[in-house]
Amino acid sequence: MPFRTLSTIFLSMAFLLIAPQANASFETAAELYKANNFPAAFTAFTKLAEAGDARAQTVLH
């Protein structure tokens, strides 16, 4: 199997494993906000935004 094919398979698997975790973290931050736990929500959204989550960046904007 060529290197390019292996790389594509590996990156696809990595994305599938990471994407649900990122979504869960955003959902956790949103739940903290809905529960009026603003300091914890701000911290959670900030960490996500610094990691490049565009949704969290929008929330903090």
Tell me the domain boundaries of the chain.
19-60
Residue that the structure tokens 């809905």 belong to = 34
Query: What pLDDT sits at residue 29?
Result: 93
Q: Model confidence over 2-60: pLDDT tens digits?
A: 667 767 776 565 555 555 445 568 999 999 999 999 999 999 999 999 999 999 999 99
Q: Which of 33, 9, 35 is nearest to 48 (CA)?
A: 33
Query: What pLDDT sits at residue 14?
Result: 55
Query: What pLDDT sits at residue 45?
Result: 93
Model confidence, pTM: 0.63
Query: What pLDDT sits at residue 8?
Result: 74
